[in-house]
Amino acid sequence: MYHAHWGLRSSPFGGSAGDTLAKTIPNPAFEEALARLQYLVAGQGRLGLLMGAAGTGKTTLLRRFVDRARRDGIPAALVGGCGCDERTYTQQLTRAWQVPATQPDDLATAWELISNQLAEWRYERQPAILVLDDADRAPAGVRQLIERVLHLALTQQALLTVFLACSTETAASVGHRLLEQVELRIDLSPWSEDETAEHVARMIYESGGEHPIFTDDAIATLHELSGGIPRKVDQIAELALLAGAGQELSEIDAATLLEAYQELGTGSL
């Protein structure tokens, strides 16, 4: 491992992509997006849309939002749309909302119980949250179930807020029937160069680094190559540290970073 060469205890950038935003310093845009999600719930809004390029931290933001809601006593379900079918979606929803279990294929009974749960929460004035991540990659049947639960909540006047998350480039795949019901759109933007630099510095510090490893020109190149996308920042920085250790360098400059990106990159960055 390259850790010893750089004087680090662990890899600053080698964690899962979903950890990138969770590890980083508080980001004003990230915190604002979180506040807007909470605002829609507090205002009893029906449907919000979270958009951003792949790797900007949508899933991380939604996990943090759902975790915070649960700590506040709000029933909250986070369902992944990618690879999800109607049965899986219904199972994840009933599990997260603690609706009594039914037979896996008994969707009719499951939805009757979901309807009863929404009615109960309405009388208790209990807010609830449903989040569909990767809504642009969810099958049409799952999106239809989102429409169904929105209709149920509206009919029963339940305090349910639904959020959909998708990539900016493929938002149309969510479908016009859902998009036309969106009350609040929330955009996650890529990092600025300063935010990229702050992230790199903190990750190195938290991994045991006592001095900067990346030069200023390397940071500028890193930001340019990554486009400020958090996931790509970590991937490219990891490649550069690996290459620099192999060459026994004392720092990473722009040329080293670019060479590592070109030689070690998989082409999927």
**For 90-135, how does the pLDDT look when each residue is reduced to its tens digit (9 = 90+)?**
999 999 999 887 666 788 888 999 999 999 999 999 999 999 999 9
Residue 227, pLDDT score = 94
Residue 266, pLDDT score = 53
Task: Reply yes or no on whether the pLDDT at 263 is more than 80.
Answer: yes
- Average pLDDT on 66-87 reads 95
Residue 17, pLDDT score = 41
CB 80 within 8 A of CB 101: no
Residue 2, pLDDT score = 78
Higher-scoring residue by pLDDT: 261, 23: 261
DSSP secondary structure string for all residues of the chain: --HHHHT-SS-SS-S-GGGHHHHSPP-HHHHHHHHHHHHHHHTT-SEEEEEE-TTSSHHHHHHHHHHHHHHTT--EEEEE-TT--HHHHHHHHHHHTTPPP--TT-HHHHHHHHHHHHHHHHHHT--EEEEEETGGGS-HHHHHHHHHHHHHHHHHT--EEEEEEEEGGGGGGG-HHHHTT--EEEEEPPPPHHHHHHHHHHHHHHTT--S--B-HHHHHHHHHHHTT-HHHHHHHHHHHHHHHHHTT-SSB-HHHHHHHHHHH--S--
Q: What is the pLDDT of residues 122-177, one digit of tens each?
A: 999 999 999 999 999 999 999 999 999 999 999 999 999 999 999 999 999 999 99
Angle between helices 58-71 and 28-42 (to 10 degrees): 50
Could you tell me the pLDDT band of residue 18, with boundaries at 50, 70 and 90?
very low
Residue 70, pLDDT score = 97
- Average pLDDT on 249-257 reads 96
Of 20-29, 39-48, 203-212, which has the strongest mean pLDDT?
39-48
Amino acid at 216: D
For residue 56, give Cα distances in angstroms to 49, 232, 257: 15, 9, 21
Domains and CATH numbers, the chain: 28-188 (3.40.50.300), 191-264 (1.10.8.60)
pTM of the model: 0.83
Residue 94, pLDDT score = 92
Mean pLDDT, the chain, as a whole number? 90
